[in-house]
Amino acid sequence: MQGRVHSVESFGSADGPGVRYIVFLQGCPMRCRFCHNPDTWKAEGGELKSVNELLNEAERYSRYWRKDGGITVSGGEALAQIDFLLELFSEAKKRGINTCLDTSLAPFTHEGAWFQKFERLIDVCDLMLCDIKHIDAAAHRDLTGRDNANILDAFRYLDEKGQPIWVRHVLVPGITDADDSLRRTREFIASLSNVQRVEVLPYHTLGVFKWEDLGIPYTLGDVEPPTPEQTDRATKILRGELQI
């Protein structure tokens, strides 16, 4: 089986524990207004690679992984290529490689063959990094172009299954940093028993040039990245260290 790969990073240290080989898959159903990789959106893009090709390349760097490292598959949205992802992680586990999935959970559904594949994927996935883009449904739709009901449902399902997750939240000043939204997000996180870590990712503008190259209007042009103080405060709120 082959998958559409946007790019790889051989020495990643910010997408899961330890040093990791990161695979960015092509295709995403979301249209996040702060996305720094809009070139991953189209499903037909990228380079076709087989499971063995990717894992053979990854294992060239395995001496750096030590006990915590391994591979992380991101996107785009990796679950948009669930067949390839399932085969990749299944083969990785046969090789003794730690597996991590970075996902928005946007494709999640309880229905049909997709859900059966997702159940099997959990068995070969050591950790999931899961985004909460916005806790409010209407605000989530405005920010990403999609509803969040199935995403929150996915979080609850992963909790039921005991799948270890890290929760990630992109802090966009004026959009995702309101105290009420952060409080509600914290309450939702606190209702889950499988959360190992909560991370706040500061909004940045490093990918704006890609929007310009693709001729897509960038609607957050007036938004400045959060200050370290704003990021620290949001992190404390989401981790339950600061009550508001």
CATH number at residue 140: 3.20.20.70
Cα atoms in the Cβ-side hemisphere of radius 13 Å centred on 122 = 18
Mean pLDDT for 152-157 is 98
Is 88 within a domain?
A: yes
Q: How many structural domains is the chain composed of?
A: 1
Domain of residue 69, residue span? 2-238
Tell me whether residue 16 is exposed, middle or buried, using C-beta atoms within 10 angstroms of its C-beta: 0 to 12, 13 to 18, 19 or more. buried
Tell me whether residue 137 is exposed, middle or buried, using C-beta atoms within 10 angstroms of its C-beta: 0 to 12, 13 to 18, 19 or more. middle
Mean pLDDT for 47-70 is 95
pLDDT class of 50 with cuts at 50, 70, 90: very high
Mean pLDDT for 211-229 is 96
**DSSP SS3 for 130:** strand
pLDDT class of 1 with cuts at 50, 70, 90: confident
pLDDT at residue 109 greater than cutoff 90:
yes
pLDDT at residue 45 greater than cutoff 90:
no
Is 244 within a domain?
A: no
Is 75 within a domain?
A: yes
Neighbouring CB atoms inside 10 A of 236's CB total 17
Is 243 within a domain?
A: no
**Long-range contacts (CB closer than 8 Å, 24 or more residues apart) made by 189-196:** 189/132, 189/238, 190/240, 192/155, 192/156, 192/159, 192/165, 193/159, 193/162, 194/158, 194/159, 194/161, 194/162, 194/163, 194/164, 194/165, 195/165, 195/166, 195/167, 196/127, 196/164, 196/165, 196/166
Is 191 within a domain?
A: yes
Please give the mean pLDDT across all residues of the chain: 96
pLDDT at residue 67 greater than cutoff 90:
no
pLDDT class of 206 with cuts at 50, 70, 90: confident
Element housing 201 (H / E)? strand 195-202
pTM for the structure as a whole: 0.95
Is 73 within a domain?
A: yes
Is 8 within a domain?
A: yes
Is 162 within a domain?
A: yes
Mean pLDDT for 81-109 is 98
